């Protein structure tokens, strides 16, 4: 079931960045070689042009767009607010972990927040939003997923927020169909950023970055195209494909009931390609503006490395800035090279204006 539902977050995908760093195996010890390339920095406005707005409106009125197409999500007015600290979940020498809630539209979303100890730097703590991958909602608990990453980054001086998403833990339960639900996850994460900015937390409200693992990487990829200027930088950790068709072929067909529900309501990729294009961030990659690095294990058996390579190739072909780092031998959740990945993550965020270094 876990592998089946991962894919339903695939369509939430897109990526971008600022340079290319591709590590490949060179010998029996899996040594790496770094190759760098540069690309012109692209700047994309967060709002559609007047002409683009008109075209989107006409498509929607004519029934040419599904109600949750990414073009429509890009026009949505987000209202994340009321971030509230609850009970203390952990209190150690490095940070305090809190249960939190915030509003995402009419929904209440739960999550956790790790606040570093000591005085924040001038301007406030830099903030990282962490998007967890797929975990069956029947077994998911508050803050589950990315626990190692939460701890490491909080100890590095980042204020860390880990949203649970709708239908997870103490968040509001909805009755949306699977595809609408996954798009809703992206809304909940966007609203987490707005809730931080509307709060009185001692944070730097401009120095915000995002890390997403697997499905959570797909959530980040969608956000890149619907809100290009939302955060300063993205780290994608073994992210899912930019094209939802890949999810359909790899996982959804394993569940006949899910396949029937989705194909009956929306059509298969072959029968209704316009629908699948409308929910594929890859089709809107030209909107991406923020720097991104992708980390992927060459031995990942859950999410193919080829998907990250395709993301890199697509964005590079469009003149975007992108970095891809491949760790030979690593699987979907890194093991021996995890600390290398995390050190690189912290350096990447700081080098792109999220934190000044520690």
d(CA 59, CA 125): 43
* Assigned domain for 259 exists: no
d(CA 109, CA 17): 29
The answer, yes or no, to whether residue 4 has pLDDT greater than 90, is: no
Beta strands, E only, the chain? 20-25, 32-37, 81-91, 95-104, 107-116, 125-131, 159-163, 203-213, 233-237, 292-297, 322-327
The answer, yes or no, to whether residue 178 has pLDDT greater than 90, is: no
pLDDT of residue 50: 63
Average per-residue pLDDT for the chain:
85
The beta-carbon contacts of 299-303 under 8 Å, at least 24 apart in sequence, are 299/328, 299/329, 299/330, 299/331, 300/238, 300/330, 300/331, 300/332, 301/331, 301/332, 302/3, 302/6, 302/214, 302/238, 302/331, 302/332, 303/6, 303/214, 303/238, 303/239, 303/240, 303/241, 303/332
d(CA 59, CA 57): 5
Domain of residue 88, CATH code? 3.40.50.1820
The answer, yes or no, to whether residue 45 has pLDDT greater than 50, is: no
The answer, yes or no, to whether residue 72 has pLDDT greater than 60, is: yes
From residue 221, give the alpha-carbon distance in Å to each of 142, 210, 226, 343: 23, 10, 9, 22
pLDDT of residue 61: 65
Residue 92 structural domain: 14-42+77-238+283-351
* Assigned domain for 220 exists: yes
The answer, yes or no, to whether residue 44 has pLDDT greater than 70, is: no
* Assigned domain for 245 exists: no
Higher pLDDT, 46 or 236: 236
Q: What is the mean pLDDT of residues 14-29?
A: 34
Positive/negative CA dihedral, 345, 347, 352, 356: positive
Contact 207, 123 (CB under 8 A): yes
pLDDT of residue 54: 65
Number of domains into which the chain is organized: 1
* Assigned domain for 1 exists: no
* Assigned domain for 292 exists: yes
* Assigned domain for 244 exists: no
The answer, yes or no, to whether residue 32 has pLDDT greater than 50, is: no
* Assigned domain for 339 exists: yes
pLDDT of residue 139: 97
* Assigned domain for 69 exists: no
Q: What is the mean pLDDT of residues 272-290?
A: 93
């Amino acid at each position: 079931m876990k592998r089946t539902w991962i894919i339903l977050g695939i369509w939430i995908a897109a990526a971008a960045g600022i340079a290319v760093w591709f590590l490949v195996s060179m010998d029996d010890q899996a040594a790496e070689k770094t190759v760098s390339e540069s690309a012109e920095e692209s700047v994309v406005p967060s709002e559609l042009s007047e002409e683009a707005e008109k075209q989107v409106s006409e498509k929607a009125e004519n029934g040419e767009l599904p109600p949750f197409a990414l073009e429509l999500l890009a026009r949505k007015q987000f209202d994340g607010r009321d971030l509230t600290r609850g009970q203390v979940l952990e209190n150690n020498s490095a940070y305090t972990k809190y249960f939190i809630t915030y509003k995402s539209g009419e929904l209440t979303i739960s999550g956790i927040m790790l606040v570093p100890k000591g005085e924040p730097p001038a301007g406030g703590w830099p903030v990282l939003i962490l998007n967890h991958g797929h975990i069956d909602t029947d077994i998911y608990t508050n803050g589950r997923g990315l626990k190692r990453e939460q701890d490491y980054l909080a100890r590095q001086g980042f204020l860390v927020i880990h949203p649970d998403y709708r239908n997870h833990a103490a968040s509001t339960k909805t009755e949306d169909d699977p595809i609408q639900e996954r798009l809703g996850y992206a809304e909940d994460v966007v609203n987490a950023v707005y809730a931080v900015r509307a709060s009185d937390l001692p944070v730097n409200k401009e120095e915000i970055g995002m890390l997403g693992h697997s499905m959570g990487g797909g959530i980040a990829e969608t956000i890149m195209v619907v809100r290009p200027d939302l955060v300063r930088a993205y780290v994608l950790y073994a992210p899912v494909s930019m094209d939802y068709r890949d999810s359909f072929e790899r996982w959804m067909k394993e569940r006949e009931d899910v396949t029937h529900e989705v194909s009956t309501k929306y059509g298969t990729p072959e029968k209704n390609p316009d629908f699948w294009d409308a929910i594929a961030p890859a089709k809107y990659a030209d909107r991406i503006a923020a720097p991104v690095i992708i980390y992927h294990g060459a031995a990942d058996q859950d999410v193919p490395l080829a998907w990250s390579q395709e993301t890199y190739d697509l964005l590079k072909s469009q003149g975007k800035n992108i970095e891809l780092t491949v760790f030979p031998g690593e699987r979907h959740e890194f093991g021996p090279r995890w600390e290398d990945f995390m050190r690189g993550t912290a350096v990447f965020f700081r080098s792109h204006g999220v934190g000044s270094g520690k």
